[in-house]
């Protein structure tokens, strides 16, 4: 009887100590679990972001894609990437898929300005902020997107015009290679350029046609210009470097010297353009910085946190002509 009593007391003591240890340990375990949840968010280990890219029609766009991908990696963000292959309908499908996947935010580089309201409304209804990069959209309600991160395309066109006006001393026939019809850069770079040459009666655009922002198409359009107006072209204004590089090929194949017989000015500032300037074939490029990854994900993180963002974050650009190309080419990052 005495042994049974003592054994019972011993078991009670052990159980009491065990309960005491658990009572001390449980708050610490609970705190640790809460900390992990606070860091990772409810049910998620990291942000998930969808990125709808237009395509890979130029080295500029490839540089933008690489910037966004590398920035996502450096921040530990899961990036769901969709290449639209130059088709707006593919971008619309991508946004629908991102919404179904319940991403935290969407980054959109819109192919053209119009036709986005249904997609943007669907994203807003799902509570998913949309950050526009490099191109804007036309919508009745600008609260449908969180912010636009892009250059001032009108200013870029104006800078190209002002440089060319000085180079040609206010006189000359200009042919224009336009970007994708309906896209913000094509519309605004044309507008800015026309504003820039308006003060010079001796400058006029004699031919203008889209080259779709593509090198091969730019070459083909320039070939047609040269055949239709032999000896009558003083300068080429291209809405991007890739079309200008295509035009340079056409000029050379026609037996002329690009950069000398025909002045060439373009926009973007990619490495190939600087190589062409060093070679004396391209005269000037206006920068349009594609390295938008850091700005895009700064905006994503703020938008997801519920912060209000400016409707347009302007990316500053500058003019580079061939006189400085050799000096700065090694510092170019794209």
**Would residue 107 be called left, alpha or beta, if left means φ above 0 and alpha means ψ between -120 and 50 degrees?**
beta
Q: Tell me the backbone φ, ψ of residue 34, rounded to 5 degrees.
A: -65, -40
The whole-number pLDDT of residue 44 equals 52
Token pair of 146, please? 């969180």
Which of 83, 82, 115 minimizes the C-alpha distance to 99? 82
- Is 242 in contact with 218 (CB distance < 8 Å)? yes
CA distance 178 to 188: 10
The whole-number pLDDT of residue 333 equals 87
The whole-number pLDDT of residue 45 equals 65
- Is 177 in contact with 239 (CB distance < 8 Å)? yes
Burial 198-231 (b: 16+ CB within 10 A, else e): eebeebeeebbebbbbbbebbbbbbbebbeeeee
Q: What are the tens digits of pLDDT across the range 147-185?
A: 999 999 999 999 999 999 999 999 999 999 999 999 999
Which of 228, 234, 153 minimizes the C-alpha distance to 194? 153
C-alpha to C-alpha distances, 18 to 5, 22, 27, 29, 69, nearest whole angstrom: 20, 6, 15, 16, 52
The whole-number pLDDT of residue 231 equals 95
Token pair of 47, please? 């942000």
The whole-number pLDDT of residue 57 equals 87
The whole-number pLDDT of residue 29 equals 36
CA distance 327 to 323: 8
Instruction: Give the global pTM.
Output: 0.82
- Is 72 in contact with 49 (CB distance < 8 Å)? yes
Which of 260, 262, 282 minimizes the C-alpha distance to 271? 282
Domains and CATH numbers, the chain: 48-151+291-315 (3.40.50.2300), 153-288+320-331 (3.40.50.2300)
Enumerate residue ranges in the chain where pLDDT < 70. 1-45
- Is 266 in contact with 238 (CB distance < 8 Å)? yes
The whole-number pLDDT of residue 23 equals 38
Neighbours of 86 (CB within 10 A): 16
CA distance 270 to 292: 14
């Amino acid at each position: 009887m005495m042994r049974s009593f003592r054994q019972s007391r011993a078991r009670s003591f052990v159980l009491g100590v065990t309960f005491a240890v658990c009572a001390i340990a449980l708050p610490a375990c609970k705190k640790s679990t809460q900390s992990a949840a606070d860091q990772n968010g409810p049910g998620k280990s990291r942000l998930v972001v969808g990125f709808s890219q237009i395509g890979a029609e130029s080295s500029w766009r490839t540089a933008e894609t690489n910037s966004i991908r590398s920035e996502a990696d450096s921040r530990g963000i899961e990036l769901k990437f969709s290449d639209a292959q130059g088709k707006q309908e593919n971008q619309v499908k991508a946004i629908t898929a991102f919404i179904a996947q319940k991403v935290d935010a969407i980054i959109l580089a819109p192919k053209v300005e119009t036709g986005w309201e249904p997609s943007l409304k669907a994203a807003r209804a799902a509570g998913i902020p949309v950050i526009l990069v490099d191109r804007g959209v036309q919508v009745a309600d600008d609260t449908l997107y969180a912010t636009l991160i892009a250059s001032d395309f009108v200013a870029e066109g104006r800078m190209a015009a002002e440089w060319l006006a000085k180079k040609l001393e206010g006189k000359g026939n200009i042919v224009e290679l336009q970007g994708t019809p309906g896209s913000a850069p094509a519309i605004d770079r044309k507008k800015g350029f026309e504003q820039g040459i308006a003060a010079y009666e001796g400058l006029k655009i004699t031919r203008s046609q889209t080259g779709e922002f593509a090198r091969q198409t730019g070459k083909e359009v320039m070939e047609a210009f040269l055949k239709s107006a032999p000896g009558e072209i003083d300068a080429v204004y291209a809405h991007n470097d890739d079309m200008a590089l295509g035009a340079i090929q056409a000029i050379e194949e026609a037996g002329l010297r690009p950069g000398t017989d025909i002045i060439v000015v373009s926009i973007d500032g990619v490495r190939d353009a600087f190589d062409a300037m060093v070679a004396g074939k391209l005269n000037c490029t206006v920068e349009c910085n594609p390295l938008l990854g850091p700005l895009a994900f700064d905006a994503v993180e703020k938008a997801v946190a519920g912060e209000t963002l400016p409707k347009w974050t302007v990316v500053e650009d500058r003019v580079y002509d061939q006189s400085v190309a050799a000096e700065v080419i090694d510092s170019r990052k794209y």
